[in-house]
Structure 1
């Protein structure tokens, strides 16, 4: 009998950044993405616990957990107004200019088939933008989790 489980499409993932400048809670979808990578081992630190009793086998304890999310795609603009996609624009023009405690910003993501968001308090490094003669302009950002992840239910508005 065939398995009822199936792989999910990568294009079904949704990534949003919270606009901390908005008067009410506002999440901005990040458009134009063509690839993403979640690295659950980023910024992990370990302590070597190998001793004579280890009998030549390596031993360690994980002392710190971290994670990162890399988003890559195409720089997007509204063809009528010329304005950059609001999610990309927030990352590039607001979040990228913050330092210290202000460099933290919430992000969330989920697959369209899921009923809850993964939510991170995060910092971000803007990625390179560029392109060649017959290419579209690229856009990217690397987001790093601070603290532990949380979840939030998907709320649909009628």
Structure 2
């Protein structure tokens, strides 16, 4: 059936309102309308099937994307939990390190205080010894001078006795 483009029956929705549909049916014949209607119905069914496939494909794609996002979410959640644990572990390590550092610092200050106390006591002891040494030295010099005087007097007496 070779027809020109002008001979093809076209359905225009405005035709329903203006009565042109009835006129076209009269001019072109019911057979052509039925053929056109069957073709149109077939096209609509095919479009419906295509849309259904597209809908299924779209739903499948969305499901795949949701699955990917859920996998990413699960991985990110796992990574987050791992990092959170590492952070808590690191914070615990830092707290322990801080405690050890404070304890070491306290121990060092105690050691330093004790050493300063020992040095101060030793200094006082040495100062006392120096003071006693100076007293003893003065006493020795005094005794030496007294002995020197006695020896000098004794020599004077011996010299007189010899003369």
Write 1 or 2 for the structure with the bigger share of strand.
1
Q: TM (normalized to structure 1)?
A: 0.15
Q: TM (normalized to structure 2)?
A: 0.15
The structure with more radius of gyration = 2
- By relative contact order (CA 8 Å, sep 6+), the higher-ranking structure is 1
